[in-house]
Amino acid sequence: MISEEHRIAITGNQAIAHAVRMARIHVVAAYPITPQTSVVEEIAEFCAAGKMDAKFIQTESEHSSMSACIGASMTGARAFTATSSQGLALMHEMLHWAVGARTPVILGEVNRALAAPWTILTDQSDSMAQRDTGWMQFYCANNQEVFDSTLLAFKVAEQVLLPAMVVLDAFVLSHSTEAVILPPQDLVDEYLPPRETPVKLDPDEPHAFGGMMFPDVFMEQRYKIEQSMDIAKEVILSEIEEWEKATGRQLKPLYPYRIDDAEVVVMCLGTAFGSVRYAVDKLRKEGIKAGGIRMWQYRPFPIKQLKELIPEGSQVGVIDRAVSFGISGPVGSEVKSVLSPESRNSVYGFIAGLGGREIQPESVESVFRAMLEGSADPVGINWVDVRK
Amino acid sequence: MIIREPNKATVNILGKDHSGPSGGHLACQGCGGALSLRMALKAIGNRCIFVIPACCMAVIDGPFPVSSLGVPLMHIAFGATAPTATGIKAGLTTQGDNETLVVAWAGDGATFDIGLGAVSAAADRNDDYLYVCYDNEAYMNTGIQQSGATPKAAWTTTTPNKKPKTSIKKDIISIMAAHRIPYIATASPSHPDDFLRKFQKAKEIKGFRFLHVFAPCPPGQRFEEKNTVKVARNAVESRVFPLLEIENGEKLTLTDIPDPIPIKEYLELQNRFAHFKNEDIEAFEKNIEKRWQELSEWNRKQT
């Protein structure tokens, strides 16, 4: 077990950098964007100081960063990049390629809203826009979780040959300092051994990768990606267990809060969950059976765990920090599709906290009250804290 | 036309046992790109990894599960050739393989247009691999649309004769030379001695190496399949495609100084220039002559 001596004060971005260092990464390719920059600055420093034996490549665009990571990964190397917002959007083409090429690249994604208009503050519109690419996504709520998730992401990705994003809120985590326990290197080495890959770019065994596939096989290739997503659900659970055995810390696909007898539940991803807990406590004092769930594992979607956790017949409000314009929030509509109708839940989609607007305990309380009072729209978007 | 004695070494290399692309590849008849690829592989051998973006060669290699190249090949998105090669090289070296040659093999669209920023960045970092642009002067794979490599006023489907391309061919060699990379060369499959020597030389150099290969395209440039080598040769001998090499972006050598044939003999082989009137030919000639003078001046300064 790990002693307190390994506890240091670092930001979320530094937590990623330390995890990448301890993962004994081979190649890091990145391009600067606020608020991701301090991830790659830290890694560049580690490389320069000889604390990391990796090749750091600064590219001219995020599109190229992801391309370089895919290339490196195809040789069997461990590859990492980090980005935010516009950078992730620019990567979009290559995010698909990373999945189709079955490269277990890891990406540190610092959630920042997409322009126009310009903002550097947090929401989840950038990463939610990539939900259909086939990347695994883990949304963190503290810096320890950022560190742990990054190492777990490598371990899972390399087993299922799918890439993974470790997602953290801009500034709230990326630039906020918290105590983080870094395990000793030998513990990490034991947890995450050198990568082994069944097939790679190798002159001794030449193969072509990514060439034309006709309709007779293309769908099977896609089916296999989905199969791997299914397998990943189990692999994530077993790696959570391994990590807990090694460190005593447990990650969870879903983090419930006072959920057992809850009649009204609010769900969200990321740091806004602090406000959810606060609002739950306040309503509980009033005798209202409120509860909360934070989703850490977003892709693959933890359907089974969600069904088990959500009390039958309860009202569920899902707070999205992203909008799928013209319909709803992405997570809200997915929760709706998973829960209804057999569990007799009513699911409502709420949009809050866009472009860095704070999701205060009062904001969450208003979400609970809308459901309790029956004023929430069961079909359309319920906007929180918006001047209409 | 100048008839040269075949170089014995060249004959030996070209006559060597099989290297890719193997028979059954999907190139059109008379494909200058496939011919160039075959010659390049003869010169550099099979201890290499290829990166190929969207282009004719991505099709020519063959669909899953076949591949005609005979060496490992990573297909990649259109604008991603250079950084993917960078990543592959970094992946190899960080795992202890310093020997395998990484070859980026991209068309003019990927090089002159959509991937230019990324090529520039790789050149700027002096990433250690061989970048080959096989240039057929338009987006031939998608059906002959103009690229930055298309000559002024040449017919393409997006520059019909009534609305011709108004800019001259982008000067990719000067762009690359401005990066002061260790080695730049042009090559034509019509000149195999020169072609093989440059590929073999490039193979041994460290850092970013840029080879610009003239790859005539019968269906795209509108000429008979039997004329591929003739079009390539006439391009060189009319000075439309000068054969040269540049070391460290500074030392330029013209590796072939032909007694120029009339440019008409190059143009008239190809129907993409069929609409050219005398003044178009003269304007074309003027640009070519101006460029040749610049290069000759550069060449002279070195010697």
The verdict on ipTM greater than 0.90 is: yes
Q: How many CB atoms lie within 10 A of CB A383?
A: 14
Assess whether A243 and A258 both reside in one domain: no
In whole numbers, what is the pLDDT of chain A averaged over residues? 96
Spans of chain B, pLDDT less than 70? 1-18, 303
To which residue do tokens 């250079």 refer?
B82
The answer to whether residue A388 sits within a structural domain is no
Q: Which of A52, A73, A212 to mutate to test the interface with B (most CBs of B within 10 A)?
A: A212
**Domain-terminating residue out of A214, A247, A280:** A247
We report the CATH number of the domain holding residue A68 as 3.40.50.970
Assess whether A178 and A326 both reside in one domain: no
Out of A67, A77, A213, whose CB is closest to B84?
A67
A4 vs B100, which has greater pLDDT? Answer: B100
We report the CATH number of the domain holding residue A267 as 3.40.50.920
**Domain-terminating residue out of A230, A247, A264:** A247
Assess whether A171 and A31 both reside in one domain: yes
* Cβ–Cβ pairs < 8 A, chains A and B: 164
A28 Cα to chain B: minimum distance (Å): 9
* Per-residue pLDDT tens over the stretch A214-227: 999 999 999 999 99
The answer to whether residue A204 sits within a structural domain is yes
User: Which residues have CB under 8 Å from A349's CB, separation 6+?
Assistant: A318, A320, A328, A329, A332, A333, A336, A380, A381, A382
Q: Rounded to an integer, what distance in angstroms lies between the CA atom of residue A77 and that of residue A97?
A: 17
**Domain-terminating residue out of A187, A213, A247:** A247
Assess whether A86 and A171 both reside in one domain: yes
**pLDDT given at position A4:** 61
Mean pLDDT confidence for A283-289:
98
The answer to whether residue A231 sits within a structural domain is yes
- Minimum CA–CA partner of B115 in chain A: A64
- A73 to chain B: which residues are within 8 Å by CB? 87, 91
Assess whether A190 and A115 both reside in one domain: yes
- Indicate whether A180 pLDDT > 50: yes
Name the helix (H) or strand (E) containing A27: strand A27-30
Q: How many CB atoms lie within 10 A of CB B170?
A: 17
- Indicate whether A87 pLDDT > 60: yes
CB contact under 8 A, B83 and A59: yes
- B85 to chain A: which residues are within 8 Å by CB? 71
Name the domain count of chain A. Answer: 2
* Per-residue pLDDT tens over the stretch B3-28: 456 566 666 666 665 577 888 899 99
- Indicate whether A361 pLDDT > 60: yes
Q: Say if CB B231 and CB B33 are below 8 A apart.
A: no
User: Which residues have CB under 8 Å from A342's CB, separation 6+?
Assistant: none
- Domains of chain B in start order, with CATH, are 2-9+24-301 (3.40.50.970)
Assess whether A226 and A292 both reside in one domain: no
Assess whether A174 and A314 both reside in one domain: no
* Per-residue pLDDT tens over the stretch A109-139: 999 999 999 999 999 999 999 999 999 999 9
- Minimum CA–CA partner of B70 in chain A: A206
* Per-residue pLDDT tens over the stretch A215-266: 999 999 999 999 999 999 999 999 999 999 999 999 999 999 999 999 999 9
The answer to whether residue A369 sits within a structural domain is yes
The answer to whether the pTM exceeds 0.95 is yes
The answer to whether residue A129 sits within a structural domain is yes
User: What domain range is A302 assigned to?
Assistant: 254-383
The answer to whether residue A93 sits within a structural domain is yes
- Indicate whether A269 pLDDT > 60: yes
* Per-residue pLDDT tens over the stretch B84-109: 999 999 999 999 999 999 999 999 99
Assess whether A118 and A206 both reside in one domain: yes
**pLDDT given at position B302:** 75
Assess whether A111 and A241 both reside in one domain: yes
Strands (E), B121-272: 130-135, 183-187, 209-214, 244-247, 251-254
Assess whether A130 and A201 both reside in one domain: yes
The answer to whether residue A75 sits within a structural domain is yes
Assess whether A161 and A265 both reside in one domain: no
Assess whether A173 and A81 both reside in one domain: yes
